[in-house]
């Protein structure tokens, strides 16, 4: 295989272990536990102490249950250059990687970053806004398909751009940071702009 030939195996563009994804949640719960630990020592009686420990245990059990049953904690994005395919796999703490998405791309396609916002209802009954930083595969006919999405803090925006650039580099497709950067498709030339139309009665020399 020469240096110009594509690799035979898919190239991993992005990989996040489910254990790494679970760490912030576990760390947050440990922090909360340490914050309320002084209240354990100042509990007026055994009943109050047992009540606080029970509430904390319920939070631990609930969080661990959510993490264990979540089958999309980990994510892997890979590119198969020989088949011209972009694949997205996900897995949980107790499951293996399963394919969620498989897209075929062409040389005329492009990779585009997109920001999407939506209104959400908070737990206290109020309203808020959730921001999603997405990576799309755009076709020449202006149709597009979602490859990957990250929601969260502003750092997710730079992470999405970094992943999109890497996908574009491996697939050798153009990368655009926003929708407005996509060049408009030029309409095909009309018959009048092409070769001269031969009408009846024209004398050819």
Classified as helix, coil or strand, 33 is: helix
Determine how many CB atoms are found less than 10 A away from the CB of residue 174: 16
How many domains does the chain contain in total? 2
- What is the Cα gyration radius of the chain? 27
Classified as helix, coil or strand, 166 is: helix
CA distance 78 to 75: 10
Task: Please indicate whether residue 1 or residue 87 has the higher confidence score (pLDDT).
Answer: 87
Query: Are 100 and 115 within one domain?
Result: no
Residue 205 scores a pLDDT above 80: no
Query: Are 82 and 17 within one domain?
Result: yes
Query: Are 88 and 116 within one domain?
Result: no
67 in a domain, yes or no? yes
Query: Are 22 and 92 within one domain?
Result: yes
The mean of the pLDDT values for the chain is: 83
- Phi, psi at 112, each rounded to 5°: -130, 135
pLDDT number for residue 87: 96
pLDDT number for residue 35: 85
> Which of the four pLDDT bands, split at 50, 70 and 90, describes residue 197?
very low
41 in a domain, yes or no? yes
56 in a domain, yes or no? yes
Query: Are 88 and 13 within one domain?
Result: yes
Query: Are 176 and 92 within one domain?
Result: no
Give, rounded to a whole angstrom, the gap between the first and last alpha carbons of the chain.
Answer: 57
pLDDT number for residue 3: 58
Tell me the residue range of the domain where 40 lies: 9-104
pLDDT number for residue 183: 77
Sign of the Cα pseudo-torsion (124, 67, 26, 154, in order): negative
Mapping DSSP onto H, E and C, the string for 79-143 reads: EECCCCEEEEEEECCCCCCEEEEEEECCCCCEEEEEEEEEEEECCCCCEEEEEEEEEEEECCCCC
**Tens of pLDDT along 161-181?**
999 999 999 999 999 988 888
pLDDT number for residue 136: 96
> Which of the four pLDDT bands, split at 50, 70 and 90, describes residue 200?
very low
Residue 201 scores a pLDDT above 50: no
pLDDT number for residue 178: 84
Residue 45 scores a pLDDT above 80: no
């Amino acid at each position: 295989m020469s240096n110009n030939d594509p690799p035979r195996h898919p190239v991993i563009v992005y990989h996040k272990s489910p254990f790494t994804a679970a760490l912030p949640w576990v760390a947050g719960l440990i922090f909360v536990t340490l914050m309320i630990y002084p209240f354990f020592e100042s509990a007026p009686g055994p009943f109050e102490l047992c009540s606080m420990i029970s509430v904390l245990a319920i939070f631990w059990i609930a969080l661990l249950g959510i993490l264990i049953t979540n089958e999309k904690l980990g994510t892997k994005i890979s590119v198969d250059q020989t088949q011209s395919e972009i694949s997205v796999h996900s897995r949980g703490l107790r499951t293996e990687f399963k394919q969620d998405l498989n897209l075929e791309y062409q040389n005329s396609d492009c990779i585009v970053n997109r920001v999407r916002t939506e209104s959400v209802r908070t737990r206290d009954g109020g309203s808020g806004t959730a921001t999603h930083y997405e990576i799309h595969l755009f076709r020449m006919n202006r149709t597009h398909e979602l490859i990957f999405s990250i929601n969260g803090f502003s750092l997710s925006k730079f992470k999405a751009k970094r992943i999109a650039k890497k996908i574009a580099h491996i697939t050798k497709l153009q990368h655009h940071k926003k929708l407005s950067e996509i060049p408009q498709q030029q309409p095909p030339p009309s018959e009048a702009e092409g070769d001269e139309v031969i009408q009846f009665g024209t004398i050819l020399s």
